[in-house]
Amino acid sequence: MDQALARTGVKLQNLAGKLRALRGWKRAAAGFAAGLCGALAMAPFYALPLLAVAFTVFVVLLDGAADSARPRLRAFAAGWWFGFGYFLAGVYWMAFSFFVQAEQFAWMAPIAVTVMPAGLALFSGAAGLVSIGLWRSGWPRIVIFAAVFSLFEYMRGHILTGLPWNLVGQALAGSAAGAQTAAWYGAYGLSFVAIVLSAGAAAGLSRGVAPRRAAVWLAAPVVGVFVLFAVGSARLALAPSASDEPSAYLRIVQPNINQRDKIDHNKWGDNFYRNLELSRGAAPGNAPLIIVWPENAAPLLDEADAALEVLAKELPNEASLIAGAVRREIDQDGAYRYYNAIAVIEDNGAGRRAVAHYDKHHLVPFGEYLPFYGLLNAVGLAQLAPYGDAGFAAGVGPAALSSNGVRFAPLICYEAIFPGAVYPEGERPHLIVTVTNDAWFGDTSGPRQHLDQARLRSIETGLPMARSANTGVSALIDAHGRILQRIPLYQPGGIEAPLPPAIAPPLYDRVGDLLYFLMIAAALAVGLRGHILMRAVRHRLQPLRDTSKKP
């Protein structure tokens, strides 16, 4: 057994030596390939072993940078190429949105699909640059690297409106068990843990490590993931069962409307009736019924008296409707201001009316509003705005609304990817309602990755989620992030089920990212002090080794 471990360790160290020695385009290609491997650990592939390959290679490339004459430049380059491969494979699907109106925007797809990954890769490049300034040998460099990389993921989620898409921990959200610990330290904490585990095998690939020990370190990611899933499974096993008497029933609608039809003003009426067709029928029990329609299901619904009259006739009397909509208001200059909104439609005694609204506050740059509108208008790109001159206006922030006596936190599409921004402080609801339209992105990994991010919001808050998506994936998710029902991509249908109960607020819902920052601080302290401790232990043991060698 020892000999087999030693042989494996020798092979690993030889491979690591070759990676450290790479220069030029070969080094760039290795970083790029490692990033591609990391992206394959995300939905829909979930190839978790490739995440370990990705970060182990990244760490070894940083080892090579530390040995070079220009360590900072090479560390940044290694990180940038890693990030470029990771994001190119991870967000390629955004190019599909430019082909919905191909006659106008197809020419922009190659630019967007390369420029965005190149920009996002600056964060991983910066993580490599900072890490190399703190570099150590042995296992301390692993925790230092994980802490630094995770901090740059946090910055990616906040700088310039933020884009926390495919955080490393997202690879664990393919199952509820793997993601349960996010209830304590959130998505960023889950990512930090995932990075530590993924890079753990590289701890044995420093120079001077015994071959047998190098092979043993291969078990670190396996053992760590096993523990993570065991803890998650135990938390799920201890979860309370649902009540036999639900407080409400949910009917989640997925109309499966082609995106070109959805944005065609002439087909708004047809689209309205496709949602309505899936909404008819009384509640299956005595509890009130809440119907959920996807994003932009009924533009300008609160102004459409004819549509409201149809709803009054066709929907069950006791039902309320939560519908994705577009609403508008006139500003002081007499111009229309448009909002990507959610409307709550109920009978207020005078017929069906919009009794409450939520306006999306975290808008997608270039997709929902145009930064630098004056410049873009001057070069002829103002047509990118979906409504009005510069696109949608932003709402005031997270909200909690009521529908049929049930308090819910509304999230529209992109907003569901942001940890810690689900509802206003002190206004804890019973439910999260997410409406989205991923039809822009086709049958790709994008809609599936989006679903995984949504389930993390339920785990972090301890709230169930009703998710209505135009073409999918619509789902009912319980307060532990388990997907109770779903409708696959590009299938029309509905989910009808009792409202799952909320649970007591998890630690993350109460303290936010505090535990995550404590973990990062502890990791940096342990990593920096651990190197000193390792040197002291070696110094103490050296006399014993010398004595043991004497005949």
What CATH number should be reported for the domain holding residue 468? 3.60.110.10
Q: Is 413 a catalytic residue?
A: yes
184 and 328 part of one domain: no
pLDDT band at 58 (very low <50, low <70, confident <90, very high): very high
104 and 211 part of one domain: yes
**Integer CA distances (angstroms), 151 to 157, 161, 319, 364, 518, in order:** 10, 16, 45, 23, 12
Catalytic residue among 153, 295, 415, 460: 295
Query: What are the tens digits of pLDDT across the range 289-348?
Result: 999 999 999 999 999 999 999 999 999 988 999 999 999 998 888 888 999 999 999 988
Rounded-to-integer distance, Cα 477 and Cα 218, Å: 35
Q: By mean pLDDT, which of 85-99, 198-212, 354-368 is the weakest? A: 198-212
What does the pLDDT read at residue 4? 80
499 and 518 part of one domain: no
pLDDT band at 549 (very low <50, low <70, confident <90, very high): low
Here the tokens at position 435 are 């409406």
**Integer CA distances (angstroms), 42 to 30, 221, 488, in order:** 20, 17, 18
Catalytic residue among 37, 413, 415, 460: 413
Look up the domain containing 416 and give its range: 249-362+397-509
Segment 33-53 shows an average pLDDT of 97
Q: By mean pLDDT, which of 11-20, 136-145, 382-391, 411-420 is the weakest? A: 382-391
Instruction: Annotate 402-437 with b (16+ C-beta within 10 A) or e (fewer).
Output: ebbebebbbbbbbbbbbbbbbbeeeebbbbbbbbbb
Q: What is the mean pLDDT of the chain?
A: 91
225 and 271 part of one domain: no
In terms of phi and psi (left: phi > 0; alpha: psi -120 to 50; beta: otherwise), the region of 58 is alpha
430 and 455 part of one domain: yes
Strand, coil or helix: 360: coil
119 and 192 part of one domain: yes
Q: Does some domain include residue 313?
A: yes
Kind plus residue range of the DSSP H or E element containing 111: helix 109-133
Q: Does some domain include residue 381?
A: no
Q: Looking at 477, 493, 509, which one is the last position of a domain?
A: 509
The rounded percent of the chain whose pLDDT value lies above 90 is: 76
- Nearest CA to 250 among 295, 293, 290? 290
Q: Does some domain include residue 32?
A: yes
What does the pLDDT read at residue 206? 82
With a cut of 70, say whether residue 546 has pLDDT above it: no
Q: Does some domain include residue 243?
A: no
Rounded-to-integer distance, Cα 358 and Cα 499, Å: 21
Catalytic residue among 37, 360, 368, 460: 360
110 and 217 part of one domain: yes
With a cut of 60, say whether residue 98 has pLDDT above it: yes
Query: What are the tens digits of pLDDT across the range 384-430?
Result: 556 666 689 999 999 999 999 999 999 999 999 999 989 999 999 99
Q: By mean pLDDT, which of 61-65, 244-248, 277-281, 356-360 is the weakest? A: 244-248
284 and 212 part of one domain: no
CB 385 within 8 A of CB 363: no
Rounded-to-integer distance, Cα 401 and Cα 383, Å: 33
Q: Does some domain include residue 374?
A: no
Q: Which strands form 249-254's sheet, in the order they lie side by side?
A: 352-359, 336-347, 319-330, 289-292, 249-254, 493-498
pLDDT band at 538 (very low <50, low <70, confident <90, very high): low
338 and 207 part of one domain: no
What does the pLDDT read at residue 188? 98
192 and 76 part of one domain: yes
Total tally of structural domains belonging to the chain: 2
Segment 39-43 shows an average pLDDT of 97
174 and 314 part of one domain: no
What does the pLDDT read at residue 375? 59
Rounded-to-integer distance, Cα 514 and Cα 520, Å: 10
Q: pTM for the full model?
A: 0.93
Segment 60-85 shows an average pLDDT of 97
Rounded-to-integer distance, Cα 508 and Cα 433, Å: 20
545 and 460 part of one domain: no
With a cut of 60, say whether residue 539 has pLDDT above it: no
DSSP state of 434: E
What does the pLDDT read at residue 326? 95
Rounded-to-integer distance, Cα 284 and Cα 282, Å: 6
Query: What are the tens digits of pLDDT across the range 187-203?
Result: 999 999 999 999 999 99
Q: Is 37 a catalytic residue?
A: no
Q: Does some domain include residue 86?
A: yes
| pLDDT greater at residue 489 or residue 364 | 489
Q: Does some domain include residue 377?
A: no
- Nearest CA to 305 among 270, 345, 339? 345
Q: Does some domain include residue 63?
A: yes
Here the tokens at position 282 are 């009384």
What does the pLDDT read at residue 136? 87
Other beta carbons within 10 angstroms of residue 102's beta carbon come to: 11
Instruction: Annotate 158-195 with b (16+ C-beta within 10 A) or e (fewer).
Output: eeeeebbbbbbbbbbbbbbbbbbbbbbbbbbbbbbbbb
Query: What are the tens digits of pLDDT across the range 232-249?
Result: 999 999 998 877 788 999
| pLDDT greater at residue 538 or residue 407 | 407
The rounded percent of the chain whose pLDDT value lies above 70 is: 92
